[in-house]
């Protein structure tokens, strides 16, 4: 999809670039495993984040599970294309990183890996370890997302957080 959008802009004489879909994208899963990342202590990080771009673009705020809560809910996929096109600026309905999260704890209850807590948010290592077991059991179709379903933010901004 990202490449399709890049091409759409380029056919119209405009510049476009999709960082996540490019060969410049870098992701570190476990510490010390990425040759092209200087800091060998880093894990679960990348040089581009679609969720963070969506946050900056005014689409929503984060929850305890690190998912982005939008007007349509927390379980979504994001993509981004950088372009030289001027778009109208839209006002954000939030100011802080967690404005749409009510901190109700439902995602904590839903997490089969016990990877989410009020104190520390989401522990990516615990989540990933659980995900690996699911991947083996249900390959080639696998996933979890239990922290994003049957929660107040599943299909929209929770009522108490609406502005």
pLDDT tens track for 45-69: 778 889 999 999 999 999 999 999 9
Residue among 60, 50, 161 nearest 101 (CA): 161
Domain ranges of the chain: 2-161
End-to-end CA distance of the chain: 32
pTM over 0.85: no
C-alpha torsion angle, residues 21, 23, 24, 30 (rounded to 10): 90
Q: Could you tell me the pLDDT band of residue 125, with boundaries at 50, 70 and 90?
A: confident
Q: Assign 32 a pLDDT band (cuts: 50, 70, 90).
A: low
DSSP 28-84: ESSTT--TT-S-TT--SEES--HHHHHHHTTSEEE-TTSPEEETTBS-------EES
């Amino acid at each position: 999809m990202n490449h399709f959008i890049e091409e759409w802009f380029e056919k119209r004489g405009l510049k476009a670039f999709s960082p996540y879909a490019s060969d410049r994208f870098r992701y570190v899963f476990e510490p010390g495993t990425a040759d092209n990342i200087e800091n060998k202590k880093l894990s679960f990080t990348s040089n581009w984040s679609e969720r963070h771009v969506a946050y900056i673009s005014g689409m929503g705020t984060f929850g305890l599970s690190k998912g982005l809560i939008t007007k349509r809910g927390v379980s979504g996929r994001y993509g981004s294309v950088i372009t030289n096109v001027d778009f109208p600026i839209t006002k954000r309905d939030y100011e802080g990183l967690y404005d749409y999260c009510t901190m109700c704890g439902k995602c904590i209850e839903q997490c089969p890996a016990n990877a989410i807590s009020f104190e520390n948010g989401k522990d990516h290592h615990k989540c990933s370890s659980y995900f690996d077991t699911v991947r083996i059991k249900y390959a080639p179709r696998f996933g979890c997302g239990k922290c994003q379903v049957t929660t107040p933010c599943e299909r929209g901004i929770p009522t108490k957080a609406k502005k």
